[in-house]
Homo-oligomer: A and B are copies of this chain.
Amino acid sequence: MTKALIIGGGGMLGQGLAKALAAKGALAGSALSGVTLFDIAESAIPSGLPGASALTGDLSRPDAACRLIADRPDVIFHLAAIVSGEAERDFDKGYRINLDGTRYLFDAIREENARSGYCPRVVFTSSLAVFGTPLPDVIGDDQVLTPMSSYGAQKAMGELLLADYSRRGFMDGIGIRLPTICIRPGKPNAAASGFFSNILREPLAGEPAVLPVSRDVRHWFASPRAAVGFLAHAAEVDTGAIGGRRNITMPGISVTVAEQIDALREIAGEDAVALIKEKPDAAIEAIISTWPKAFDAQRALALGFVPDRSMQDLISVYLEDHAPEAVRARWQR
């Protein structure tokens, strides 16, 4: 029987993962006996999730993790973080949640390890923000980490902690660098990357969207479904095959904005495309120009992580998994 803990379980990927676990019913080769969702606010619990409970708390408080680890979950998904923009605006909060929170968690595990030999699988979500310019057009698995944001620095430090605590045998960690999620469900948000989803999701709903960059901008994406698949696979993969380098860039698809728009046209027609208004924003263009364009994610592929197949897939996943019923009914074939 496997007990799982999802920290940040109320968030976008946490909720997707909870649904996927409800559907799977098992993890790491045995039936799920309990799944705890931990988040600042009470997480929704998807139907059918075995032994589910929702706990609230703040991981950046030194005692929160100890309480969670007392239950000795076999698999821990650590998804709690504040995102790039917020970590850049509020320096203290970013380090407190993204770095200290991660360290409190790992230290709580280490203490339980010292007491009882406890050694859970820990899946940590890192980010492409660990990379910074200059970058090659196609980035290999040996790219040096040179973050250009506090969020990226915090994720890179989380990776180092994860690798060191795993090397010491306190836990069995794996860090997965997620591509940018597209189409991100919900409302448009102010993140610099928001437009990559907005220009698809909004026109599918008959709403206008702003494109602040040129159409030849290229970036690296995964659907929420693929990302949840990475999380579940990371919980089950043989870490013996990973060796000392426990942080792995996830596979994705490399697509230009023009190719995003072509896929939208194919599925929703020229009227939908016409809802995209080009409104160049030099600040956003400058930020995006420093971002990765594509990866050769050989290690992840060799370990069995499965990416999306095409830009059209990213739109189909949105329609199948996330879109409001009216939007789904309108476009789904």
Residues on A lying within 8 angstroms of B by beta carbon are: 91, 110, 132-133, 142-148, 150, 153, 156-157, 160-161, 163-164, 167-168, 244-245
Asked if A168 meets B245 with Cβ closer than 8 Å, knowing A142-B144, A145-B145, A160-B157, the reply is: no
* Residue from B144, B146, B168, B245 in contact with A91 in the complex, judged by beta carbons closer than 8 Å: B168
- Output the nearest chain B residue to A148 by Cβ-Cβ distance: B244
A-B contacts, 19 of them at CB < 8 A, read: A91-B168, A142-B144, A143-B144, A144-B144, A144-B145, A146-B163, A146-B245, A147-B160, A147-B164, A148-B167, A148-B244, A150-B164, A153-B160, A153-B161, A153-B163, A153-B164, A156-B160, A157-B157, A157-B160
**Complex contacts, A168 vs chain B, CB 8 Å:** 91, 150
CA distance A244 to B161 in the complex (A): 23
Complex: A110 Cα to B150 Cα, angstroms: 14
Smallest beta-carbon distance A115→chain B, Å: 15
Q: Whole-angstrom distance between the alpha carbons of A156 and B145 in the complex?
A: 10
Expressed in whole angstroms, the Cα–Cα distance for A193 and B295 within the complex equals: 38
Contacts of A160 in B (CB 8 A): 147, 153, 156-157, 160
Output the residue of A142, A146, A147, A245 with the most chain B CB within 10 A. A146
Q: Please name 7 further chain A to chain B contacts, defined as beta carbons within 8 Å, in addition to the given A91-B110, A146-B245, A157-B157, sorted by A numbering.
A: A133-B244, A142-B143, A143-B144, A145-B145, A146-B163, A147-B163, A153-B163
Tell me the complex Cα distance, A112–B333, Å: 61
Give chain B residues whose Cβ lies under 8 Å from the Cβ of A163.
146-147, 153
What's the nearest-Cβ distance from chain B to residue A50, in Å? Answer: 36
Chain B: which residue is nearest A130 at the CB level? B160
User: How many angstroms from the CA of A144 to the CA of B131 in the assembled complex?
Assistant: 11
The complex places the Cα of A82 from the Cα of B263 at a distance, in Å, of: 56
A244-B153 contact given A144-B143, A144-B144, CB 8 Å threshold: no
